[in-house]
């Protein structure tokens, strides 16, 4: 259930390993694209895997579920854009579980004794037992007695999804030990990594802990970038030196935190226990505010942004992927436009993407052809390899803002650019 970044690769993995698989999605455009033999998402190796799965006859796609031995729910769990919770004056975001409930309701009529249902969607603690189980039990069957119910979160990295689906350790949390074992038996069809069984709520918490841990560590890196800017320090040099300590591993700062996991999942803890998750809440405040700190850097570099032409390089939430979900680069591009800049953004991995808040273009040259300022938002390989003097010959822009700390400042300065780098204070090179 769900043929997105996780559902489609998972369906393909089962199919190429000999399992009759029905991929279901409520978006008719997704079904139409897949039935034409094309893909709606980019991921290394995915096209080959899906083509092999369809050619084997083991993978079909449909807009409706059917009877099966096992059902896997892999639908999005974003947060609401217009609903908030509040605790002691602190507003926090709420998980939008409508896709999970809808998918669960859709499979309930097809549920039979002995079936296995697995929720993969990242969810607040107790979702499996408090939300999914009661819906399924409307079938007249009892979870843990008549059918197995488990939670098994995806734990993969965009750009390496297929390899990590196979090789990463997998956690299966059952509402009963038998449910966990049934999930283990299912995923062992293709998973080569260790499969750990536990209870459903522990498995839900494991997933949230993993991404919250990373969010907290990114927050301290982002806060270090602000402090370095204030004190006239080069944060990139400082981090590289600090990381020489054998027990220190500071991550790289940036213009924010994006993607469907790290920028979303910590809120599920805050929603579930707002009285306890104070550090997690503050972490989200730091990372959600980072695009505004990045905006201020562009403002300082360019002066007034009103009427200034800005070439924004990259819109994905991280380098070398096409995933734009919750991307701080998209947010920053929109903020620049809102400040009066005329933004032309280029995303090499999804050049046809369109947004209401700013203009997107199909080539780098079109983005910077008449620009006043170039802003590197994402450290894609295509951008890291740019030759400064060659770029200088293609654009009138002579201001470069590097939000990722990946460009050689000396080379771009030698080519005639004034270079501003996130986390590098104005006296850092003195």
Fold of 207-284: 1.10.1040
Q: How confident is the model at residue 41, as a pLDDT?
A: 85
DSSP 170-218: EEEEESSHHHHHHHHHHHTTT--S-EEEEEHHHHHHHHHHHHHHHHHHH
- Per-residue pLDDT tens over the stretch 275-330: 999 999 999 999 999 999 999 999 999 988 999 999 999 999 999 988 898 899 99
Give the Cα separation of 294 and 226 in Å (integer): 10
Query: What's the rounded Cα separation, in Å, for the pair 238 and 253?
Result: 12
pLDDT at 178: 98
* Whether pLDDT at 129 is above 80: yes
Selected catalytic residue, list 207, 309, 318, 344: 207
The residue with tokens 């796609």 is 61
CATH topology of domain 7-77+94-193: Rossmann fold (3.40.50)
CA-CA distance, 266 to 280, in Å (whole number)? 7
Assess whether 207 carries a catalytic annotation: yes
How do residues 40-63 score in pLDDT, each as one tens digit?
Answer: 988 889 999 999 999 999 999 999
CATH, domain range 290-421: 3.40.50.720
Is 261 in the active site? yes
Q: Which of 64, 83, 142, 261 is catalytic?
A: 261
Judge if 7-77+94-193 and 207-284 fold alike in CATH terms.
no
Q: Note the pLDDT tens digit of each residue in 373-419.
A: 999 999 999 999 999 999 999 999 999 999 999 999 999 999 999 99
Q: Which residues contact 315 (CB under 8 A, 6 or more apart)?
A: 324, 327, 329, 330, 333, 345, 347, 350, 353, 360, 377, 378
Instruction: Check if the beta carbon of residue 206 is closer than 8 Å to that of residue 171.
Output: yes
The yes-or-no verdict on residue 157 having pLDDT over 80 is: no
Q: What is the pLDDT of residue 154?
A: 86
pTM of the prediction?
0.88
CA-CA distance, 338 to 332, in Å (whole number)? 10
Span 347-368, mean pLDDT?
94
- DSSP secondary structure letter of residue 108: G
Domain boundaries, the chain: 7-77+94-193, 207-284, 290-421
């Amino acid at each position: 259930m769900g043929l997105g970044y996780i559902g489609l690769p998972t369906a393909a993995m089962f199919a190429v390993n000999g399992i009759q698989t029905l991929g279901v999605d409520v978006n008719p455009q997704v079904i139409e694209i897949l039935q034409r033999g094309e893909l709606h998402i980019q991921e290394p190796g995915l096209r080959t895997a899906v083509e092999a799965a369809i050619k084997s006859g083991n993978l079909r796609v449909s807009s409706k579920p059917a009877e099966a031995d096992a059902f896997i729910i892999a639908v999005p769990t974003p947060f609401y854009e217009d609903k908030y919770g509040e605790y002691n004056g602190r507003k926090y975001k709420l998980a939008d579980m409508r896709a999970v409930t809808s998918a669960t309701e859709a499979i309930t009529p097809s549920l039979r004794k002995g079936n296995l249902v697995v929720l993969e969607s990242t969810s607040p603690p107790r979702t499996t037992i408090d939300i999914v189980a009661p819906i399924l039990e409307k079938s007249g069957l009892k979870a843990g007695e008549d059918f197995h119910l488990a939670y098994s979160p995806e734990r993969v990295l965009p750009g390496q999804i297929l390899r990590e689906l196979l090789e990463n350790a997998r956690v299966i949390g059952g509402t009963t030990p038998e449910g966990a074992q049934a999930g283990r038996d299912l995923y062992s069809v293709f998973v080569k990594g260790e499969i750990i069984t536990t209870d459903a709520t522990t498995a839900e918490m494991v997933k949230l802990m993993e991404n919250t841990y990373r969010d907290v560590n990114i927050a301290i890196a982002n806060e270090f970038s602000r402090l370095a800017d204030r004190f006239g320090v080069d944060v990139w040099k400082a981090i590289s030196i600090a990381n020489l300590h054998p027990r220190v591993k500071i991550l790289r700062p940036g213009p924010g935190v994006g993607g469907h996991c790290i920028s979303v999942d910590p809120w599920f803890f805050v929603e579930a226990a707002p009285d306890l998750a104070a550090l997690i809440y503050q972490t989200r405040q730091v990372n959600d505010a980072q695009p505004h700190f990045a905006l201020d850097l562009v403002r300082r570099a360019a002066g007034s942004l009103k009427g200034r032409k800005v070439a924004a390089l990259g819109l994905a939430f991280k380098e070398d992927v096409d995933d734009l979900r919750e991307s701080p680069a998209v947010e920053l591009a929109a903020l620049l436009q809102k400040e009066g800049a005329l933004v032309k953004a280029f995303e090499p991995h999804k050049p046809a993407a369109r947004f209401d808040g700013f203009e997107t273009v199909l080539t780098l040259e079109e983005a910077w052809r008449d620009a006043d300022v170039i802003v590197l938002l994402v450290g894609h390989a295509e951008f890291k390899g740019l030759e400064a003097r060659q770029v200088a010959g293609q654009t009138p822009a002579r201001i470069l803002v590097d939000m990722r700390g990946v460009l050689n400042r000396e080379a771009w300065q030698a080519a005639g650019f004034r270079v501003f780098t996130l986390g590098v204070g104005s006296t850092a090179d003195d």
